[in-house]
Amino acid sequence: MTPVRPTFTVGTRLSADPINAAPQIARVLVNDPHIVLRHEPFGAPDQLTRERLQVEPLRPRRESGKTIVFVTHSVEEAVYLSARIPVMNARPGRIIVDRGVVLPGDDEAGVRAITVTATPEFQALEIELATAIQAVHV
C-alpha cells in the first residue's frame, strides 16, 4: 500500500473586503488540498468586518470536511473557529494545552453561530486558554 502524502496549501492574509475574500478562498480550495493552513487570516480593520469574514472559511469545512488550520493570536477567534485548540509557548515552541472545543449549537461540522460567543461555555473556555497563555508568558 502506498502511503498518502498530505497536501498543504498555505494562504495569504484574507482581504478585509468580503468580496475579495471569496476568490482568495476559492484559489486555495481549487487544488483540493487535504489541509488548508491560514496564518492570521482575518486582519480586518474593524470588528464587524472581521466577524463577517470568520464565517466564510467555515463553509468549506462544512461542505467538504477539509481540515483547516488557523494560526491566530486572538483567543476569542480561536475558540469561535476551532474544533481543537493547541496552545504553544514561545520558546521553545511546545504545545502546553491541547483542548477540544464543543459548544452549544454546534452542527455536525462544528460550525457555530456568532451568538455562541455569549454563552457561559464559550466564555469559560476563553478564560481557561487566556489564563494558560498568561501563565507561561509571565
pLDDT at position 25, please?
67
Tell me the pTM: 0.71
pLDDT at position 128, please?
94
Q: How far from 10 is each of 14, 48, 63, 92, 119, CA to CA, in Å? A: 12, 25, 20, 23, 32
The 10s digit of each residue's pLDDT in 96-115 is 899 999 888 887 665 688 88
The 10s digit of each residue's pLDDT in 10-28 is 444 444 455 565 676 677 7
pLDDT at position 89, please?
85
Q: Can you tell me whether residue 99 is helix, strand or coil?
A: strand
Dihedral sign from CA coordinates of 28, 33, 39, 40? positive
Continuous H helices in 65-137:
75-81, 120-136
The 10s digit of each residue's pLDDT in 40-80 is 666 656 676 666 666 665 665 667 677 778 788 889 888 98
| Interstrand relation of 35-39 and 67-71 (parallel, antiparallel or unpaired) | parallel
User: Per the structure block, which three cell numbers stand in for 19?
Assistant: 468580496
pLDDT at position 12, please?
47
The 10s digit of each residue's pLDDT in 82-99 is 888 998 887 788 898 999
- pLDDT band with cut points at 50, 70 and 90 for residue 32: confident
pLDDT at position 52, please?
66
Q: Can you tell me whether residue 35 is helix, strand or coil?
A: strand
